[in-house]
Structure formats: C-alpha cells, structure tokens
Amino acid sequence: MTGHDWDDDADYASAVGCTWTLVVVTVLCVLLVAGAIFAVCAGFIGLSGVLAIIGG
C-alpha cells in the first residue's frame, strides 16, 4: 500500500478490518468447496458400495 497516508488510524483500522473480512470469506469458500468435493467423493464411494452389495 505504498503512497497511502496512514496518519489517520481510522483509515488503517478500516483497511485491516476489510482485509480480515476477505480472509474469513476466502477460508469459508475454501471449506465449502472442500466439503462439496468430500461429499461427492463419499457419495461415489457409497454408491459403489451399494451397487456391490446389490450386485452380490
């Protein structure tokens, strides 16, 4: 953030708050995607298990 005048603590605090908000949103999105991938993989494993049981 070169060239920005950080003399005002309110501007700095606002920028830090926005940064933490972005970090939290990013982490939640990553966890959501990871959970979706896990659910799909678990679904395929469960489906193949059920088909194996039905197929004998």
Tens digits of per-residue pLDDT, 12-50? 888 888 899 999 999 999 999 999 999 998 888 888 888
The answer to whether residue 5 scores a pLDDT higher than 70 is no
Instruction: Give the pLDDT score at 7.
Output: 67
pTM, to two decimals: 0.64
CA geometry: angle at 36 spanning 35 and 37, to 5°? Answer: 90
Instruction: Give the pLDDT score at 46.
Output: 85
Q: Which residue has the tokens 């659910």?
A: 39
- Residue 11's contacts (CB-CB under 8 Å, 6 or more residues apart) are 4, 5
